[in-house]
Amino acid sequence: MSDPAQTFLTRWYAYVENHDPALLQTIVADGATISSPAFYKPKTSKDYVIAILTTVVAGFEDFTYTKEWIDGNEIILEFESRIGDTKLKGIDRITVDADGRMSHIEVLIRPLNGLIALAEHVKASLGQAAA
């Protein structure tokens, strides 16, 4: 495992456990991108990536990572969680830069009703924040 990947994972797991927004600011690179099955094209903006990750992590219940794979600065983390009564599984495919910051995250979620529940949660949460 590369040093940047190890640095990132240590800080990422701390963020997921504690939901510390200040920590998330330090581990997402400027110009970071996010890809999701909920939208057609990747979105580019550190602020947008942080807003989505904060909202998603806050909405997950019984969240746990079950497996991890690392290849240089590429990380795949398999997870299980639920939103309300809807259980879901997914992976986070993360690329880190030389400084151990997330430069890209691609999130894949199944089953479809899990993806829909998550997308509805994000839409409702971000809608409330904008109001």
Strands 102-110 and 86-96 come out as antiparallel
Q: Tens digit of pLDDT for each residue in 34-60?
A: 998 777 788 888 999 999 999 888 889
Sequence-distant (6+) residues with CB within 8 A of 106 are 34, 35, 36, 42, 92, 93, 94
Q: Tens digit of pLDDT for each residue in 69-127?
A: 999 999 999 999 999 999 999 999 999 999 999 999 999 999 999 888 888 888 888 76
Separation between Cα atoms, residue 20 and residue 6, nearest integer Å = 19
pTM for this model (two decimals): 0.90
Domains of the chain plus CATH, in order, are 3-130 (3.10.450.50)
DSSP state of 2: -
